[in-house]
Structure 1
Amino acid sequence: MSIQTIGIIGAGQMGSGIAQVCALAGLSVIMRDIDDAAVQRGINGVTTQLERAVSKEKITAVDKDGALGRITGTTDLARLAAADFLVEAATENLEVKRRILKEVDAIASPGAIIATNTSSISITKLAGSMSRPQQFIGLHFFNPVPVMALVEVIHGIQTGVDTVARTEELAKRIGKTPIRVKNSPGFVVNRILVPMINEAVFVLQEGQASAEAIDAGMTLGANHPIGPLALADLIGLDTCLAVMEVFYRDFNDSKYRPAPLLKEMVDAGYLGRKTGQGFYSY
């Protein structure tokens, strides 16, 4: 069955980014969130990004209008029954994702693939409460979705071979490069990346260097395009903490303990760019 319509659960930064790349690739998109204001923010975000792309001559005004015309916003979960492929892009919380995925599972068409954009949670565990685990898969996009070329395609123990193949085909169709990954906490990229960020927070917490010096060390000394603390602000400190907590719990290894300063900043509401304050002010 050819994938023509994408359903996206969550109109936040990740969900709207996924909507944008899918719509630009010619797919119809149904983007759902819990209220009209959240849906409109998602549509506005896509509009802003597409207008910026037009101004930089990366796409034409016709491309922009066509993409926006292919995106439908809704608060009605039942509208997602029309989708051939659904992507859950909600907050990085096991119970929240389980609840949403069970709701989606109940209304999705029989042949639809259901994917999660989780950055760390077990695909096998999420699939365990679903009626069609063979049609469930991880499809992990990176932020910002329109810019980052990679997607991780993560198969749980129950995921069918056809589901993996069709998901990889979709990833390529929307201009992404998929890598196939076995199910394990954090998969590949975040398994390496987020502990590095956590270690940078430890270095800051211990007073070894300032945030600016730590980031300069990694950009100039390791040739990273962005320092780990600036990257944490971009990702969201709450997301970084959630990933480290998954690692700490699931690997049962003290090397994955979240830095106390990271916890304290999240408790303070200093989540990075999205709140205007993290390791830097925005």
Structure 2
Amino acid sequence: MDLPDLISAAVYTKVELLKQTFHTPHICLYVSGLKWRCTYDSAGNLLYEADHTTPPCLRLAAPGFKTDFEYGTDRENWIVMMKFDSLQYDPETRRFLLDHRGTMLPLPHMIELNETEVPALRKRFRTIAEYFASAIPKKICDAEIMTLGLLRRFLENEECSSIDTVEKFRIALDQDEQWKKTLDEHCHDLGIGRNTMRRAFCARYKISPGEYRTARRLQKINALFAESDLSIKEIAFAVGMKNVTHLNSLLRAHYGKTPSEL
């Protein structure tokens, strides 16, 4: 992974009412002074709305993002703009993707911060701005390394939120006993790509989502055979199969028997 090529790094403090389109990726630390803000991604999706009650946060933006905002007299937001091909935005999942040796690592577009986190991050952004302005090659290199380090905060946050997302995905599969939705549809509901979810699901449960779903369906079928008076056709419908033929095929593939032989 190459280092980001910095274009600018500065703090913004002036009162301002503006509509803006971004042409390069950037990382922003918002501290205070916002009156209101609406931000749209490159596909026109509304990513977030904010006002004076919004807590400090870190944000990522990509080329094509548009924002309307108004800041007041106590404005403080730091912005580092850069060229960085390893950082891309995926409008389908509304997440950023960091290319690490061919592996695409998902990053959230925004992280809310506790007040206690602000001083250290402000110091980091101030140092990046000072080093970039120095025009000294070593310091500029240090600034680029520190900018890359800021992305670690997004990566850490995504790892934490991915745990919750994976669990929500598993629960959604369990509740969808009739398979009314595909795996892609369940992933879309949670705002995450199927491949990203598959990797996270396999890492946590040591089984793929498709294999897990089939195993849960077999458990349900076995329970219905053992504990209910439903017909074979009714059992097939209860687990989301269109006809008995599909049920026969599933049981024969896994047990080598038809329903009547169980």
Provide the TM-score with structure 1 as the length reference: 0.23
- Which one has more relative contact order, counting CA pairs under 8 Å at least 6 apart? 2
Structure with the larger helix share = 1
Q: Which has the larger Rg?
A: 2
